[in-house]
Structure 1
Amino acid sequence: MAAQIHQLSLGPLTAHSFNADRSKVAVSPNSNEVFIYSSTPSGWVLEHTLAEHDKLVTGIDWAPNSNRIVTCSQDRNAYVWTLSQEGIWKPTLVLLRLNRAATFVRWSPNEDKFAVASGARIISICSFEEDNDWWVAKHIKRPLRSTVLSLDWHPNNVLLATGCADMKARVFSAFIKGVDAKPPPSVWGERLPFGTVCGEWGTPAGGWVHGVAFSPSGDVLAFVGHDSSLTIAYPTGPETPARAVHVLRSPTLPHVTLTFVSENQIVAAGHDCQPVLFEGDADSGWSLVKSLDTAGAAASKGAPPPPPPKAPGLAASTGGVGRLNNEAFNRFRSADAKGSTASPSALAPGVGAGVGPGGSSGSVAKHLGAVAGASVGADGELHTTHQNTITSVRPYSGTRENVDSVSTSGVDGRLCVFKVSGGTNVSGIQRGVASLRV
């Protein structure tokens, strides 16, 4: 179960970001506005509304040290918001020079620049020009061939990881002369002029790369794809083979976001509606450890009891052509309502939906839910804290090297906090975990 659950919207939450002390949070309620909530003893209270954008806000990031917020939108613009002494958030113009929607934004670790992804096959690296009082962008274009979906900064403030809809995860140099100091040599290279491709990997089955993340040291890159894969790469240098590349193919629905919580642990979340923890290293490989959502432990929940028998004569009175009570219709109705592929009449007495007389299951509960936290129960219900896709997972407490808890937001309008140390052990669902391929 989540440590905190906040229902901030009746619609989807596109993105969220906390301030430094976690007393305020900025969220996008799937509109052109950004809501800033303040924590009070009675709950979250709406404090400010940022309404400068014309279309859907797609990305939010709150700089912890400078207390500035950057937002991007499908209107092809981005704004940097600064809190004035009067308590008003004032926007500063950003010259992105995009002809397609902006899709993602992140501050660099030093907060002196930020990166904006877009559907124009362009990444805008933005820095501040004091003379004109605006933010200007330098573009990274090649070899991007489709919409850039996600970004993550290396701890050295220069390297930038990107996930793209051309099925590739790449690491670029975002070095800007006059802004950045020359970074020390690393596994990504020594000479890093702007736009240098320092690494490139693809998803195993050609899925879009939804999320990317650097490890706390910056020496490991992880990314998740729409082919339900998690890839962890250990580079050794430019134009040299990687030390190791571990690929996990999951039978669950795809993850769309991830973050490192330590050098050897990753939390990923997405369409399976719950955050899951992976653990490993370059030598022994990686594996699924547990779900952070104890509410997702529905595999142990018993099947619902069979419906009571009807009174004599009622079953026969519903017969006739056109009454939609034939075997095929009952099969489809059961599949739609309970996730079962067997018709109710085919089930043995006392056996729940989706479990046949021989003990074999045709339900979503066995094939999906019983893999990563068993989110779908035998009753066909979703037994997770989030009731729809998780769109964002971010560190909440702890240090970069050892994150204690993570925050998540989703299509169900919920903002939740999960402890990394809690959750459900997957020892009882090894049948699903065994289908993971490394």
Structure 2
Amino acid sequence: MIEEHSFGPVPITCHSFNKDCSQLALSLNSNTVDIYKKSGQKWEKLQSLEEHSERVTSIDWAANTDRIVTASADRNAHVWTRDSTGQFRPTLVLLRIDRAATVVKWSPLENKFAVGSGAKLVSVCHFEPEHNWWVCKQIKKPFKSTVTCLAWHPNNCLLAVGATDFKARIVSAYLKEADEKPAATCWGGNMKFSNVMAEYTNGGSGWIRDVAFNGDGSLMAWVSHDSSVSVANGSTQTLAVLRFAMLPMLTCCWLSDTALVAAGHDCYPVVFRYEAGSASLSIAGQLNMSADQSGGSTKMTAKTMFGNMDRMATEDSVEKLTTVHQNSIK
């Protein structure tokens, strides 16, 4: 079943739902985050969060603690906590970066969060109740360009990081101040903060657009701007890569240990099947590709199109895509 929610003609830069999807935080390509509540078939605006001075680039809503963290091009983050009236109040988090923040993610236990940025580093932040503020530690060493995406491992200590240097990495974000000492995983046992547990490249030349761990954290998937999807298996130490003729994907997530879904510039989600035994990927199907099976235009070659324009002064005009989404999915 498809639910369509419209918030006007302005692009949605980033968004995040609360635990039961009854409320939504989104930013419409501005420095403001709007909080909406589902009311019947409509969305009712509850509050506007206006602490950032530049465009908001990422939002994450913690499912259990009900806190929102926002990151912005102003190089700061804010943690938003509800007061006694139900309104969100901000706490400034100084990230100590000199470039825009690009992505923010709560950890699974929601006791810390990570922020990627154009400063070629990842900031890992945790709360110090003694001083009543958020403390930031930085992972700098392996990154050579802008960090574009993050994903937490289920153990709350490992972090998958994608960047514009065409590499996907797994680094340790273990903080002794906030975490219990973790057990070794299939990615390794040295959990010292900022240690690089694994580093992968699929041999292509595309920015990493999104990364995702599966349920038990033994598989890491990522999508790249060279129209490829890759899966690294920590248990078997294998890498599966699939290149396709579609436009690049921008986001991905696991449906199960053998299936993941990705979507991007083609405006519809695609399901990929992963076979651990053969370390291979294949396309399993497309989701909601057509909003109107009878709609759309007939494809023609460039020669035919320009020939029609020259001989008959006609051209094909496409006002609406045949997909449910009318623009890229992120």
Q: Which bin holds the TM-score, normalised by the shorter protein?
A: over 0.9
- What's 1:290 paired with? 285
SS at the partner of 1:343? helix
- Pairwise CA distance, 1:156: 0.1
1:255-270 matches, cutoff 5 A = 255-270=249-264
State the one-letter code of the partner of 2:284: V
Please say which structure displays the higher CA radius of gyration. Answer: 1
Q: Is the 8 A contact 2:296 2:322 kept in 1?
A: no
Percent same amino acid among aligned pairs?
45
Contact 1:107-1:114 within 8 A present in 2 as well = yes
Q: Does 1:53 align with 2:48?
A: no
Matches of 1:9 and 1:379 in 2, distance apart?
Answer: 21
Indicate the structure with greater helix content. 1
- CA positional deviation for 1:204: 2.7
Specify the alignment match of 2:120 in structure 1.
Answer: 121
Task: State the match for 1:111 in structure 2.
Answer: 110
| Equivalent residue number for residue 343 of structure 1 | 304
Once residues 47 and 319 of structure 2 are traced to their aligned partners in structure 1, the CA distance between those partners, rounded to angstroms, is 40
User: Taking structure 1 as reference, are residues 100 and 346 closer, same or farther at Cα in structure 2, changes over 3 Å only?
Assistant: closer
What is the TM-score with the length of structure 2 in the denominator? 0.92
Deviation per residue, 1:330-355 (Å, 9 max, x gap): xxxxxxxx7741235857xxxxx99x
Q: 1:251 and 2:250 equivalent?
A: no
Residue 235 (structure 1) shift: 2.2
Within-5 A mapping of 1:2-401: 3-236=2-235, 243-284=237-278, 285-295=280-290, 340-343=301-304, 381-391=320-330
CA distance in 2, matches of 1:9, 1:345: 35
- 2: CA distance between counterparts of 1:106 and 1:283? 32
Secondary structure, counterpart of 2:5 in structure 1: strand
Aligned counterparts of 1:344 and 1:112: Cα–Cα separation in 2: 57
Given that 1:274 and 1:296 are in contact with CA atoms closer than 8 Å, whether structure 2 keeps it comes out as no
- Seen in structure 2, the aligned counterparts of structure 1 residues 282 and 89 have a Cα distance that, compared at 3 Å, is same
Distance 1:79 1:201 in 2: 32
Q: Partner amino acid for 1:257?
A: T
How far residue 280 of structure 1 moved from its aligned partner, in angstroms, is: 1.8
1:283 maps to a residue whose letter is: G
Counterpart code for 2:101: A
Structure 1 unmatched ranges of 5 or more: 237-241, 305-337, 348-352, 355-362, 364-377, 392-438
**Greater percentage in strand:** 2
Q: Deviations over 1:181-221 (max 9, x none)?
A: 11122111112100010111114321100100011110001
> In structure 2, what is the Cα distance between the partners aligned to 1:83 and 1:345?
59
Where does residue 371 of structure 1 map in the other structure? none
Taking structure 1 as the reference length, what is the TM-score of the superposition? 0.70
Distance 2:135 2:300 in 1: 51
The one-letter code of the counterpart of 1:386 is H
Q: Which structure has more RCO (C-alpha within 8 Å, separation ≥ 6)? A: 1
5+ residue gaps, structure 2, are 309-313
For residues 237 and 177 of structure 2, the distance between their equivalents in structure 1, rounded to whole angstroms, comes to 34
Change (3 A) 1:177 1:249: same
Matched residue type, 1:269:
A
CA distance in 2, matches of 1:166, 1:19: 33
| 2:108 aligned partner, one-letter code | P
Whole-angstrom CA distance in 2 between matches of 1:75 and 1:141: 20
**Counterpart of 2:4 in 1: which secondary structure?**
strand
- Secondary structure of the residue that 1:92 maps to in structure 2? strand
Change (3 A) 1:95 1:111: same
Q: How many residues align?
A: 324
> Which residue identity does 1:291 align to in structure 2?
Q
Q: Distance in 1 between matches of 2:48 and 2:319?
A: 39
Deviation at 1:282, TM superposition (A): 1.4
The structural deviation recorded for 1:78 is: 0.1
Once the two structures are superposed, what CA deviation does each residue of 1:373-424 show, in whole Å capped at 9, x if it has no partner? xxxxx96852111111112xxxxxxxxxxxxxxxxxxxxxxxxxxxxxxxxx
C-alpha separation in 1, matches of 2:45 and 2:35: 6
**Residue identity matched to 1:384:** T
Residue type of the alignment partner of 1:144 = F
Q: 1:49, CA displacement in angstroms?
A: 0.4
Contact 2:268 2:289 in 1 (8 A): no
Note the C-alpha offset of 1:296: 5.7
User: Which amino acid counterpart does residue 244 of structure 2 have in structure 1?
Assistant: S
Quick one: distance in 2 between partners of 1:30 and 1:339? 35
Task: Extract structure 1 runs of 4+ deviating beyond 3 A.
Answer: 300-304, 343-347, 378-381
- Contact kept in structure 1, 2:228 and 2:243, CA below 8 Å: yes
User: SS at the partner of 1:7?
Assistant: coil
Q: Distance in 2 between matches of 1:42 and 1:201?
A: 44
Native 8 Å contact 1:74 1:102 kept in 2 = yes
Contact preservation (8 Å) 2:295, 2:322: no
